């Protein structure tokens, strides 16, 4: 996960160049493009705010299950499986710690 990468991807989905009526993301809200991409961006920004603020306090990364809750999103199907992994990665990014990605994967450009 890269904050800037996700932000750029979501901004491209929100822009006029992306011509689609609906989005079916792997996680989150399924629906009209603007609503679905907007929801994902709000989640990302809320998670970043929580992780970066917590990192600035010097709170332990290992306690991420204690401080990483974002109650407004806990009813979403991916929350328990993915959210805490996301918040931990964002915490590490805020601290300047590189998170190792998956080997042999590349972003596709079109």
How confident is the model over 48-88, as pLDDT tens digits? 999 999 999 888 888 888 888 888 888 887 788 788 888 88
pLDDT for the residue 64: 83
Helices (H), strands (E): how many in the chain? 4, 2
CB 67 within 8 A of CB 77: no
Helix (H) or strand (E) holding 55: helix 33-57
Chain Cα centroid distance, residue 64: 15
pLDDT for the residue 44: 92
- pTM for the predicted model, two decimal places: 0.80
- Would you say residue 106 has pLDDT above 80? no
Instruction: Count Cβ neighbours within 10 Å for each residue of 48-60 and write b for 16 or more, e otherwise.
Output: bebbeebbeeebe
Closest to 81 in 3D by CA, of 28, 9, 25? 28
Closest to 2 in 3D by CA, of 98, 105, 103, 104? 98
């Amino acid at each position: 996960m890269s904050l800037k990468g996700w932000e750029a991807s979501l901004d491209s989905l929100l822009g006029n160049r992306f011509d689609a009526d609906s989005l079916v993301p792997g996680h989150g809200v399924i629906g009209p493009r603007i609503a679905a991409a907007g929801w994902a961006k709000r989640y990302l920004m809320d998670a970043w705010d929580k992780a970066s603020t917590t990192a600035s306090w010097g709170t332990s990364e290992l306690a991420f299950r204690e401080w990483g809750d974002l109650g407004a999103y806990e009813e979403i199907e991916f929350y328990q499986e993915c959210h805490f992994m996301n918040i931990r990665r964002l915490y590490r990014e805020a601290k300047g710690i590189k998170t190792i990605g998956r080997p042999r994967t590349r972003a596709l450009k079109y």
